[in-house]
Amino acid sequence: MDFDWSPEEKAFREEAAAYIQEHLTEGVVNEGCDATRYVDTPERRGFMRALADCGYLGVSWPEEYGGKGLPITYDYLLAEELAAAGAPQSGKGVGIIGQTLIRHGSDELKAEFLPKILRGEIEWAIGYSEPDAGSDLASLKLRATRDGEGWRLNGQKRFTTSAHFADWYWLAARTDPEAPKHRGITLFIVPMNDPGITVQEMRCIDGERTNEVFLDDVWVSDRYAVGEVNKGFNYVSEALDYERHTLFPYSMLPRMFEMFLEFVKTTQRDGVPLRDDPAVRRTVAELARDMEVARMNSIRVVDNMVHGLPATVPAAMNKVWWSELYQRLVNAVLEIVGPGAWLRRGSAHAPMEGFFQQLYRTMVIPAIGAGANEIQRTIIARRGLGLPNPI
């Protein structure tokens, strides 16, 4: 059994790491160490375009769509290197949307959007969740009614990250209210600058911005429906497997852990080095063990994808383990570091520059985003273990 990367994969990884270091500037690094932290700055767009210029975006896409036809492992390795460096992820356009368009989009949609995604030219917002449709996404109500050779959209979305700067909205709407709820949903692509779209800010506990979005008589042509009408829920489910993987790259965890480990190695409390404290040593060792499980989980998802096997259950396991290990790590750090750990970033005496105080406020989000962990557990129980639906 060989768990190591091939020489070609290692070479790609090393080249990518060097390229990222060369182009990464301070303003582009994710402060909160969180892949879901989507911000828009000229620097960030510039960084994405630099990745695009060197052909790093969409390397797993088929050559006919501008990719390099490499196994999806290479997208994974790039995502890992981006995460290790604290750089923004490219997963939303290249992964979630690009992969769905390649599999289900019309030739017209592919021709219009795939080249722009590969050139790093456009930003996307994803509009699935609504006030009464989060975990139970199939209950979404945003209505699309037939109007000429297109559809008229009316309703509300909630938690649309990036809506305040995105160029395009990847949105699920109800096209057939009479059909069973999973079978009456269609995916559309809508320009965010449509005058019928209003975006309202919602702030998270960590300061990150997400949005409420209101659509008032927004007309969208048939051309911008993705795949078949009323099959949108299937496409969204497929894309969510991808999201549960790409939004939680393993390499973000060692980035946090290494910082803590360095603190343990170099700090004394009451004249005694922390590294000599048996309770601290046990905590650090257990976290290191759990990190290895996280690494294996993430490789399992990509391995299933490479071999054309369903990735839903491994992706759910990856997401639950990753997000809860993140919480265990941050909680352990705050407990060991003590009250000083609550000093904010920028405070003169904050241990580890107040990094873990920021992470504490961020750590609730991964357990909710891309489908709450309770729902992931239901997926594991039902699809992985064959248990019946909960009553």
Ligand X SMILES: Cc1cc2nc3c(=O)[nH]c(=O)nc-3n(C[C@H](O)[C@H](O)[C@H](O)COP(=O)(O)OP(=O)(O)OC[C@H]3O[C@@H](n4cnc5c(N)ncnc54)[C@H](O)[C@@H]3O)c2cc1C
Listed residue (323, 352, 363) closest to 261, CA to CA: 352
Contact 109, 226 (CB under 8 A): yes
> Taking the complex as a whole, how short is the minimal distance between the CB of residue 124 and ligand X, in angstroms?
9
3-state secondary structure 168-214: EEEEEEECCCCCCHHHCEEEEEEECCCCCEEEEEEECCCCCEEEEEE
Q: Where are the beta strands (DSSP E) in the chain?
A: 124-127, 143-147, 150-158, 168-174, 185-191, 197-203, 209-221, 225-226, 268-269, 272-273
Q: How far apart are CA 142 and CA 149, in angstroms?
A: 19
Residue closer to ligand X by CB (options 162, 357) is 162
Q: Verify binding: residue 139, ligand X, rule CB under 6 A.
A: no
Residue closer to ligand X by CB (options 204, 259) is 204
Site mask for ligand X (CB under 6 A), range 312-351, x = bound: ----------------------------------------
Phi and psi at residue 272, in whole multiples of 5°?
Answer: -110, 130
Residue closer to ligand X by CB (options 160, 175) is 160
Contact 84, 24 (CB under 8 A): no
Q: Verify binding: residue 160, ligand X, rule CB under 6 A.
A: yes
Q: Using CB under 6 A, which of the segments 98-106, 157-165, 267-275, 319-327 binds ligand X? A: 157-165
- Which amino acid is residue 290, in one-letter code? D
Residue closer to ligand X by CB (options 161, 283) is 161
> Taking the complex as a whole, how short is the minimal distance between the CB of residue 350 and ligand X, in angstroms?
24
> Taking the complex as a whole, how short is the minimal distance between the CB of residue 135 and ligand X, in angstroms?
3
Residue closer to ligand X by CB (options 299, 372) is 372
Q: How far apart are CA 29 and CA 7, in angstroms?
A: 29
Q: Verify binding: residue 33, ligand X, rule CB under 6 A.
A: no
Q: Using CB under 6 A, which of the segments 138-146, 276-284, 293-301, 364-372 binds ligand X? A: 364-372
Q: How far apart are CA 350 and CA 343, in angstroms?
A: 5
Q: Verify binding: residue 135, ligand X, rule CB under 6 A.
A: yes
Q: Which residue is nearest to ligand X (CB)?
A: 134
Contact 157, 194 (CB under 8 A): no
Residue closer to ligand X by CB (options 81, 206) is 206
Residue closer to ligand X by CB (options 171, 301) is 171
Residue closer to ligand X by CB (options 21, 135) is 135
Q: Verify binding: residue 120, ligand X, rule CB under 6 A.
A: no
Q: In the chain, what is the greatest distance between 2 CA atoms, to the nearest angstrom? A: 77
Q: Verify binding: residue 129, ligand X, rule CB under 6 A.
A: yes
Give the residue carrying structure tokens 């993430």. Answer: 298
Q: Verify binding: residue 210, ligand X, rule CB under 6 A.
A: yes
Residues in 81-110 that interact with ligand X by CB under 6 A:
none
Site mask for ligand X (CB under 6 A), range 218-237, x = bound: --------------------
Q: How far apart are the first and last CA of the chain?
A: 42
Give the residue carrying structure tokens 């594991």. Answer: 380
> Taking the complex as a whole, how short is the minimal distance between the CB of residue 365 and ligand X, in angstroms?
5
Contacts of 196 (CB under 8 A, 6+ apart): 153, 215, 216, 217, 218, 219
> Taking the complex as a whole, how short is the minimal distance between the CB of residue 372 and ligand X, in angstroms?
3
Q: Copy the structure tokens of residue 277.
A: 């404290």
> Taking the complex as a whole, how short is the minimal distance between the CB of residue 154 and ligand X, in angstroms?
18
Q: Verify binding: residue 283, ligand X, rule CB under 6 A.
A: no
Phi and psi at residue 265, in whole multiples of 5°?
Answer: -70, -25
Counting every residue written for the chain, the total comes to 391
Q: Verify binding: residue 263, ligand X, rule CB under 6 A.
A: no
Residue closer to ligand X by CB (options 16, 173) is 173
Residue closer to ligand X by CB (options 333, 375) is 375
> Taking the complex as a whole, how short is the minimal distance between the CB of residue 366 and ligand X, in angstroms?
9
Residue 252: CA count within 13 A, CB half-sphere: 31
Q: Verify binding: residue 372, ligand X, rule CB under 6 A.
A: yes
By the criterion CB under 6 A, which residues form the site for ligand X? Answer: 126-129, 134-135, 159-161, 204, 210, 365, 368-369, 371-372, 374-375, 378
